[in-house]
Structure 1
Amino acid sequence: MEYRTLAGTDLKLSALTFGAWAAGGWMWGTTERKDALQAIRASYDNGITSIDTAPIYGQGNSEEIVGEAIAGIPRDKVQILTKFGLRWDLDKGRLSMRSKDLKGESINIHIYAGKESIIKECEDSLRRLKTDYIDLYQLHWPDPTTPIAESFEAVNRLIEQGKVRYAGVSNYNAEQMAEAEKTTFIASNQIPYSMVNRRIEKETLPYCIKHHKSILAYSPLERGLLTGKLKPGHEFAEGDHRATNSYFTDDSIERTNAFLAKLKPMAEAKDATLSQLVLRWTIEQPGITIALVGARNAEQAIQNAAAIHIKLTPEEIQFINDLIPPA
């Protein structure tokens, strides 16, 4: 595995970081707890020491699974990244979406990053994760109802108390990052980035490069679209958010698979899967520090980790870039 230092910190993260959204079983259809635990442990055994989660992923379930999975591992050998600012148990802030919890009961999810709410969220996360500190604490989504300064004053307090090591943001644009930086040091921005979603290249990516901020790319496989395994007419499990996502229409899947077919000879020549080639390409892109990738079981986790062994020359990267369809 390769390890990369989060900009402006002494925190080293595995270039491929385990993304634990699906492990929580929320919005991805059914996820078996034992499979999720085995996936995280297999990832760690193969060098993936960093795990990204959030309270909203299964309404605490993902964090609890992460806490159980890393039990017994020396705390300084694993890096925990989690988030705050999405509440399903508090009617404050801006309504983000209506959903169902793991029991099938309706919940309203609010974006809210008020100071006292953040303090409570941190305590709850520490308890679920069974740890006394979080390596990177990230504001999950911009909260239009709370001043950015108020949110990060709370994070500063947590840093002073030793409960959080570093602050980050998620889904922030360049202007919001600059505003947050007035209150505390922001190490990173976790934001979507993939071969078929390169929107950040216009503004956010240049800002992060200029100001020496790390980018944690999530959905590098575009939630499975870039694996090449999906076919038009695919039926998603009940509760899987991809069923209504525009990336997963039959036309989109067909176009993407036609593009991936052009990459397949390169992957085969490297004795790699398309997923592994896509992951390696992602972490080779300018400004991208790490890529988050999930796994439903140990086999997928081992395959993901093996992507680190693929080598791409500048010429091969340019070849891939030239093939990528326009956004």
Structure 2
Amino acid sequence: MEYRKLGTSDLEVSAITFGAWAAGGWMWGGTERKDAVEAIRASYDLGVTSIDTAPIYGQGLSEEIVGEAIKELPRDKVQILTKFGMRWDLAKGDFGFASKNNDGTEINIYKYAGKESIIKECEDSLRRLGTDYIDLYQIHWPDSTTPIQETMEAVAQLIKQGKVRYAGVCNYNVAQMKEAAKYIDLVSDQVPYSMVKRDIEKELVPYCLDHDKSILAYSPLERGLLTGKMAPGYKFSEGDHRASLYFFTDENLKRTNAFLKKIQPLAEEKDATVGQLVLRWTIEQPGITIGLVGARNAEQAIQNAEAIKIDLTNDEIDIINDALDELELVK
């Protein structure tokens, strides 16, 4: 495994980081707890020491699963990245969206990052995770109802208390990052980035490169689209959020698979899957510190971790980019 520092901190994380959204089942058509625990442990055995989770994933279930998976591991060898600022149990802040929990009960999600909420959420996360500190604490989504200063000063207080080591943000634009950086030493921004979602390259990547901020790329496989395992006509489980996304229309599956077929020979040459090649390409892009990738079982987790073994030359990256330039999805 490769390890990379977040921003100017001394926190080293694995270049392939375990993303525990799917492990929580929520919006992924449910989960099997035992499989999720085994997936995290299989990742760790291959050097994936960093795990990204959030309270909203399964309304606490993902954090509980992470806590169970790491309880017998040396705590100082694991980096826990979790979040705050999405409440399903409090109607305050920005209304996010209506959803259902894993039991099928309707819930409303609010983006709220007021000070008192952050303090409560941190205590709840520590309890579920079975730990006394969080390595990276990230606001999950911007909250327009709370001043960024209030939010960041609350996290700074948690850092002073030793409950949090470093502060990060998620889904922040450059202006929001600049504002947050006035009040706290911000080390990272976690944003969506994949071969078919590259809008951050215009402004966010240059800013982060210039200011020594790390980018944590989530959904680098675009929720499974870039694995090549889905063909037109693919049926998702009930409750799987992907069913309504434009990426997964029959036409876009057809176009994406045509692109993946072009880079398949390079993957075979590397004795790798197309998905592994895509992951390696992602973490080789300028400004991208780590790729967050989920797994629902040990087999998927092992495949993800082994993407690190691939070596890509500049010429090979150019070959992939040339093929990628011809891919256009229909929105």
TM-score after normalising by structure 1 = 0.99
User: Offset at 1:7?
Assistant: 1.1
Say whether 1:267 aligns with 2:252.
no
What secondary structure is seen at the aligned counterpart in 2 of 1:99? strand
User: Offset at 1:30?
Assistant: 2.0
How well do the aligned residues superpose, as a CA RMSD in angstroms?
0.7
2: CA distance, partners of 1:322 / 1:183: 42
Please name the residue that 2:169 is paired with: 169
User: Offset at 1:289?
Assistant: 0.3
1: CA distance, partners of 2:292 / 2:101: 24
Please name the residue that 2:82 is paired with: 82
2: CA distance, partners of 1:74 / 1:122: 21
Contact 2:232 2:253 in 1 (8 A): yes
What secondary structure is seen at the aligned counterpart in 2 of 1:256? helix
Tell me the number of residue pairs that the alignment of Structure 1 and Structure 2 aligns: 327
1: CA distance, partners of 2:226 / 2:328: 15
Please name the residue that 1:256 is paired with: 256
User: Offset at 1:74?
Assistant: 1.0
What is the identity, as a one-letter code, of the residue corresponding to 1:98? A
What is the identity, as a one-letter code, of the residue corresponding to 2:110? H
Please name the residue that 1:68 is paired with: 68
Say whether 1:16 aligns with 2:6.
no
Please name the residue that 1:315 is paired with: 315
What secondary structure is seen at the aligned counterpart in 1 of 2:89? coil
1: CA distance, partners of 2:301 / 2:129: 21
Please name the residue that 2:297 is paired with: 297
User: Offset at 1:326?
Assistant: 4.8
Say whether 1:184 aligns with 2:184.
yes
Q: What is the identity percentage for the equivalent residue pairs of Structure 1 and Structure 2?
A: 72
What is the identity, as a one-letter code, of the residue corresponding to 1:119? I
1: CA distance, partners of 2:79 / 2:209: 23
User: Offset at 1:323?
Assistant: 1.2
2: CA distance, partners of 1:252 / 1:179: 38
What secondary structure is seen at the aligned counterpart in 2 of 1:10? coil
Contact 2:24 2:30 in 1 (8 A): no
Please name the residue that 2:119 is paired with: 119
- Structure 1 unaligned spans of 5+: none
What secondary structure is seen at the aligned counterpart in 1 of 2:275? helix
2: CA distance, partners of 1:14 / 1:226: 21
- Structure 2 unaligned spans of 5+: none
Query: How does 1:138-287 map onto structure 2 within 5 Å?
Result: 138-287=138-287
Please give the per-residue CA displacement for 1:252-273, whole angstroms capped at 9, x wherever unaligned: 1111001101000000111100
Please name the residue that 1:97 is paired with: 97
2: CA distance, partners of 1:42 / 1:52: 15
Over 6 Å off, 4+ runs = none
1: CA distance, partners of 2:116 / 2:30: 33
What is the identity, as a one-letter code, of the residue corresponding to 2:131? T
Please name the residue that 2:28 is paired with: 28
